[in-house]
């Protein structure tokens, strides 16, 4: 689960990790009202108006409705014009940004609607760095990763200048040790106050990541201010679904408007569903087989419309829900059901399919491949149902048939 930048900063601030001061706004008036207290409290006339969406690349992104406007805007009007000038500019920006669609490299051409702004104090930046905490799958440990190349995507740094990436392992028995944090801060070239503050920041962030069960925390950029402070100028956090049950505070930060409605509905019914752009809907048991079913559709020259794993214990109800999800997509021209029933019996699946078709209706070709326990019984149920369903001998046959029937 992803959260917004301002929420990540709230979680950090609550753990003593330095972040700039900011105010959340969902209306133009709230945005304008945020300006005066912020400027007065920080003594800095510069404020930044940041779009809050679950995607990166906001600064370089552009609004569909305002092609010359980026997703993150620095307001410097206050340097000469005072607070009133800042308020005017923030009003103008917020009016344009709220409710508009921001397209970034990560959102693609679909873009994302900006419903929330974060009005943040300006920071006098001396240096931009990169810092993240994430799982290193090869070692099965969490690691802290840092680079002096702040502001640049870490994948680019990794590809072009891999020697600029520093890593420290977090041992789950005793956490990141002070000397490891100091080694990272040294490696980033920090000195004096910045060195001390940087090491402290790294250690606090590693503790927060473990405590919060964060999947990944990425601070890009992490900035050193002109007076030697170290703070998170941006902050991205994502959380592992399996551990959310022990973090109700984080769960409360879920923004359903950022999620695909079909995927969210699937989760409600215990289905694993991902919407794709193709025309062949598929319903499969098992994640590996579901992925391979998408692949085999492509192998025969068509594109899958979705990933859908109904799991090991699918009931007729679940199958009906799965059918609803698939048929709700207007792009779907045909459906492939691919089941290898192990513990799950093929006759149960067949009954579920017949019931689902009865309830949801069927306007596109349907190919069913059943294998495993009670397969003959399952095929008979399909045959005797009188529905326009094509049986397939195996997975390859099924994929071939559905692609032929839809092309």
Partner 1 sequence: MSILINADTKVLVQGMGRTGRFHTDKAIAYGTQMVGAVHPSKAGTVEKYTGETDHSGVAGRPDTYDVDVPIYRSVAEAKDATGATTSVVYVPPPFAADAIMEAAEAGLELVICITEGIPVADMVKAKRYLEDGSTRLVGPNCPGVITPGECKIGIMPGYIHQPGRIGVVSRSGTLTYEAVYQLTTIGLGQTTAVGIGGDPVNGTNFVDVLSLFNADPATEGVIMIGEIGGTAEEEAAAWIGEHMTKPVSGFIAGTTAPPGKRMGHAGAIISGGMGTADAKISALLEAGVTIAPTPSDLGSAMVEAMG
**Closest separation in Å from C-beta 251 to partner 1:** 14
Cα 91 to Cα 24, 88, 223, 282, distances in angstroms: 14, 5, 28, 48
Residue 278: CA count within 13 A, CB half-sphere: 22
**Closest separation in Å from C-beta 341 to partner 1:** 8
**Closest separation in Å from C-beta 171 to partner 1:** 7
Cα 287 to Cα 33, 242, 274, 336, distances in angstroms: 49, 16, 11, 15
CA-only gyration radius of the chain, Å: 26
Report, as residue numbers or ranges, the catalytic residues: 130, 218
- List contacts with partner 1 (CB under 8 A): 135, 137-138, 140-142, 154-155, 158, 171-173, 210, 213, 215, 240, 242-243, 245-246, 272, 274, 276, 284-292, 294-299, 303-304, 307, 309, 312, 340-343, 371-373, 394-397, 399
Angle between helices 316-327 and 261-268 (to 10 degrees): 180
Q: Which of residues 187 and 372 has its CB atom nearest to partner 1 in the complex?
A: 372
**Closest separation in Å from C-beta 244 to partner 1:** 9
CA-wise closest residue to 199 among 214, 209, 189, 212? 189
Distance CA 217, CA 8 (A): 9
Q: Which of residues 96 and 275 has its CB atom nearest to partner 1 in the complex?
A: 275
Count, residues in the chain: 407
Q: Which of residues 216 and 387 has its CB atom nearest to partner 1 in the complex?
A: 216
Q: Which of residues 159 and 256 has its CB atom nearest to partner 1 in the complex?
A: 159
Ranges assigned E (strand) in 326-406: 334-341, 366-372, 389-392
Q: Which of residues 203 and 338 has its CB atom nearest to partner 1 in the complex?
A: 338
192, 198, 200, 202: CA torsion to nearest 10: -160
Distance CA 402, CA 337 (A): 10
Tokens 């495993």 label which residue?
A: 372
Q: Which of residues 138 and 192 has its CB atom nearest to partner 1 in the complex?
A: 138
**Closest separation in Å from C-beta 373 to partner 1:** 6
**Closest separation in Å from C-beta 170 to partner 1:** 9
Burial of 284 (0-12, 13-18, 19+ CB in 10 A): buried
């Amino acid at each position: 689960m992803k959260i917004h930048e301002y929420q990540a900063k709230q979680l950090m601030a609550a753990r003593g990790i330095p972040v700039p001061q900011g105010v959340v706004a969902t209306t133009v008036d709230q945005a304008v009202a945020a300006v005066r207290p912020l400027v007065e409290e920080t003594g800095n006339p510069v404020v930044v108006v940041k779009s809050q969406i679950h995607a990166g690349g906001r600064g370089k992104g552009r609004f569909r409705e305002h092609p010359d406007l980026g997703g993150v805007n620095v307001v410097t009007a206050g340097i000469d014009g005072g607070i009133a000038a800042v308020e005017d500019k923030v009003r103008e920006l917020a009016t344009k940004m709220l409710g508009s669609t921001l397209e970034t490299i990560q959102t693609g051409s679909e873009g994302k609607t900006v419903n929330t702004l974060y009005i943040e104090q300006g920071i006098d930046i001396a240096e931009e760095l990169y810092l993240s905490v994430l799982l290193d799958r090869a070692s099965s440990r969490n690691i802290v990763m840092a680079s002096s190349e702040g502001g640049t995507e870490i994948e680019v740094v990794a590809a072009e200048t891999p020697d600029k990436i520093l890593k420290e392992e977090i041992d789950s028995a005793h956490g990141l040790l002070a000397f490891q944090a100091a080694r990272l801060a040294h490696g980033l070239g920090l000195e004096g106050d910045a060195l001390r503050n940087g090491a402290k920041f790294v250690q606090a962030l590693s503790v927060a990541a473990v405590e919060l069960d964060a999947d990944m925390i990425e601070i890009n950029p992490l900035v050193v201010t002109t007076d030697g402070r170290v703070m998170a100028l941006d902050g991205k956090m994502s959380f592992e679904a399996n551990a959310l049950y022990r973090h109700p505070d984080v769960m409360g930060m879920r923004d359903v408007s950022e999620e695909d409605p079909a995927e969210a509905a699937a989760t409600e019914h215990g289905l694993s569903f991902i919407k794709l752009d193709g025309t062949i809907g598929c319903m499969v048991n098992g994640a590996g087989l579901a992925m391979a079913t998408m692949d085999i559709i492509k192998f025969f020259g068509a594109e899958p419309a979705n990933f859908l794993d109904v799991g090991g214990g699918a009931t007729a109800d679940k199958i009906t829900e799965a059918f609803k999800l698939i048929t709700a997509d207007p792009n779907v021209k045909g459906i492939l059901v691919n089941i290898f029933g192990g513990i799950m019996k093929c006759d149960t699946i067949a009954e579920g399919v017949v019931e689902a078709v009865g309830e949801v209706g069927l306007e596109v070709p349907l190919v069913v491949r059943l294998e495993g326990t009670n397969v003959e019984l399952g095929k008979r149920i399909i045959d005797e149902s009188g529905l326009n369903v094509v049986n397939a001998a195996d997975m390859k046959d099924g994929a071939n048939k559905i692609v032929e029937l839809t092309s």
